Amino acid sequence: MKILVCVSKTPDTTSKIAFSDGNTKFDEAGVQWIINPYDEWYALVRAIELKEKDPSVVLHLVTVGGADTEPIIRKALALGGDEAIRVNANSSDSYYIASQIAAVIKDGGYDLILTGKETIDYNGSSIGGMVAELIDAPYLSLATQFNLEGTTATVTREIEGGEEVAEVALPVVVSCQKGVAEQRIPNMRGIMAARTKPLKVVEPVAADTLTAITGFELPPAKAGVKLVSPDNVAELVRLLHEEAKVI
């Protein structure tokens, strides 16, 4: 069986976010880059667990990005995996990115494709569904548990007000979230091995770009806190009505 895990580069959550060129571009100066946590902690680690259970599993990683993504995918290789593929293209358009991943899947003949539920920078949660459509495979999102017996996957996924358990035959695309696996940290042996693992660079296939970013905005600064005596209910109501405008 062949597994492909989609990996994305995202800013560290502690990075100070700023924009340039009239708020039309993300300012990367001084930004610390990490593997998207949903890709790393859940999708990748669950794939590694499947490979540990069955050593015959072939585990590949894929990312779409420039050469600056290679340190990130090397870290992913340090956690586990046999080979990485980098599609040499920079894009923020979900359809374009999904098209590149779909081309890799078709070329590699993968049975299981795992993604994180979303990236922590754009929070689009759109890649997995698009990839599934492009390769004509089933798609299960928001997985909190994933088990595999032969060529049948059992997926527990979060739905409004509860959980849903689904069974599906491979090939399938699954997006993963908290619960699927526990976070791992690369050990020294994995880090050293990752240096020599294959990292294949492929050129992008022709694909449409359907969206473009026209501008960014930072959220408004948080207002100061006002303390109201618990005995002064009238003042609390006034502030909620006149200033907070929530009643």
The per-residue pLDDT for range 84-96, each reduced to its tens digit, is 999 999 999 999 9
Smallest Cα–Cα separation from 3: which of 41, 74, 73, 54?
A: 54
Helix (H, G, I), strand (E, B) or coil at 204: coil
The per-residue pLDDT for range 47-89, each reduced to its tens digit, is 999 999 999 999 999 999 999 999 999 999 999 999 999 999 9
Residue 245 has pLDDT above 80, yes or no: yes
The pLDDT value given to residue 17:
86
The pLDDT value given to residue 107:
96
The pair phi, psi for residue 70, each rounded to 5°, is -65, -40
The pLDDT value given to residue 168:
97
Mean pLDDT of 14-36: 90
The per-residue pLDDT for range 113-171, each reduced to its tens digit, is 999 999 999 899 999 999 999 999 999 999 999 999 999 999 999 999 999 999 999 99
The pair phi, psi for residue 217, each rounded to 5°, is -140, 140
The per-residue pLDDT for range 195-230, each reduced to its tens digit, is 889 999 999 999 999 999 999 998 888 777 888 998
The pLDDT value given to residue 150:
94
| Distances from the Cα of 152 to the Cα of 17, 112, 149, 168, 183, angstroms | 43, 11, 5, 6, 25
On whether the CB atoms of residues 123 and 8 are closer than 8 A, the answer is no
Query: Token pair for residue 156?
Result: 């527990």
Class of domain 2-219: alpha beta
Single-letter residue type at 46: R
The pLDDT value given to residue 219:
84
Mean pLDDT of 23-36: 91
Query: pTM of the full predicted structure?
Result: 0.87
